[in-house]
Structure 1
Amino acid sequence: MDVCVPKRTKAGLLVLALLLVWSLLAPPAYARDGTTSQEAPARVFINAKAAIVLDVDSGKTLYAKNADELLYPASTTKLMTAILLVTHLHPDDPVYVSADASRQPRVRLGVKPGTTLTADEALHALLMKSSNDVAYAIAQTVGGSQEGFARMMNLKARLIGCTRTNFVTPNGLHDDTHLSTAHDIALILAEAIKYPQIVAVLQTQSYEVAGKQIRNGNRFAYLKDPTFGEVIGGKTGYTSKAMYCLAFAVRQHGRVRVSVVLGAPRKSFMYRETRRLLEFAMDNRQVQLV
């Protein structure tokens, strides 16, 4: 027996079918916070030329903007200098400051040519005050010359997985061919914090070297109970061409995360954007950097 379906009911079924097809094919609607009903990542603007947050334990990149773009790394370079210092000298070994080292551009520790520091003193001056003269002295002591030390830096960079880095100076002072990437600097910091001696210095706020009282130039070293995890430490950098750079490591939920920003136009942006990136990681936010 045939069932007669009213025309009005047939029309209603057709409308429902069309609405179902449209809902499957239409693009998702965006909410005010930039997310969608399908949880698409919110787009977040970053002033820095390049940025990355790396989960060190897994090797996974959590957030990235131009992370493989070649840029000037400024004094974040000194993280590699520190690695070679602690792996080639004992803390009490001498580091000789030559006339060439003492003439390096500021920032300097400012000791006279012929001064001898211990390797531990040199490490503090290198990472806390970002002393260019001490970085050069380390290069001459460990590598015999700046050129020899640069070869050691580049070899170590390759061994830890850096594929685009080319170091020329031990201090990050400008050279057109002294280049790295946010991703490579993240790998270098991840390597540096494997050494307790380096971590201890990164967390030191004040220290005396050769009769000079120095303070840590990284303002994040003074944070108490930060919103983005337990501070491990990091290194700032600046030149007029590199602009403001910061590589920083924290521990979040038992995991080590490293943030790097390169080429921030202002110092305040460098710190603010590092904080934001690490807070995103702390909260497991889904964001896309632009």
Structure 2
Amino acid sequence: MRDPVAVAEDGGMPILIQPDDLAARIAAGERTVVLDVRWSLAAPDGTEAYRAGHVPGAVYVDLDRELADHDAVGEGRHPLPAEADFTAAMRRWGLRDGDTVVVMDDLGNQSAARAWWLLRHAGFGDVRLLDGALAGWRTAGHALETGDVVPERGDTTARFGAMPVIGIDEVAEVAGRGVLIDARAAERYRGEIEPIDPRAGHIPRAMSAPSGDDLDAAGRFRSPEALRERFAALGVQVGDPVAAYCGSGVTAAHAVASLAIAGIDAALYPGSWSQWSNDPSRPAATGPDSR
């Protein structure tokens, strides 16, 4: 049977919510803020897709403008936003302290996980990913709403520090003492292609674990047991340091969520390959597993 809530082994807040459970909350009038994070490299502006059909009441979140700070220099393509800027975004979304927040996208939650991670990092307790994302909502037979949703302004405040973060100088240490996960596509990890960043390859000693492989054929997260087996095969052991990176820190948040479902705490390297590869003093490895 599928785990309906997927909580971390430490008994923390649920990480996932199933479409039927979200629909029931909405129907019962339970206060729930739904955030729609439509974004991809091919279509970074998901506004029109959102307006064409979204979960009823969902507020559109602009990943590039609200979940990143492009004024930060030398920190990669999607640096973390400043506390004050993220506070303004959360208030625009209508968030109040104590709310249940559900985030989703149309990409298996690989972009929505950035919002999940930032909200957790900001101290928000009850933040859940809609398992199966928009496709799961549709498959479950639930209706969509069109147009824009403009909520009443919220009053919550971001207080960063609740999630572990590492910088460029700590990455190599994690790769040497524990497990550093590269969540990009395997061909980018191996250095066979690099469509965006200045150098191909990966951080030495990192392990390839494409974020899409954490999902089943329906785009839902694999079970906690299956995810534990996946990460154990990469050498993840309880107590060892674990961190994740990707191209620019977006899908790496999805890897952190997958690890959390498996009961494993992991740090995020927000600068990711986009920061590392822009520093010529940092080595790059190519080919398969370099450990």
Q: What TM-score range do you get, normalising by the shorter chain? A: under 0.3
Q: Highest Rg: 1 or 2? A: 1
Q: Which has the higher strand share?
A: 1
Please report the TM-score for the alignment, with normalisation by the length of structure 2.
0.28
- Higher helix proportion (structure 1 or 2): 1
TM-score for both structures, normalised by structure 1: 0.28
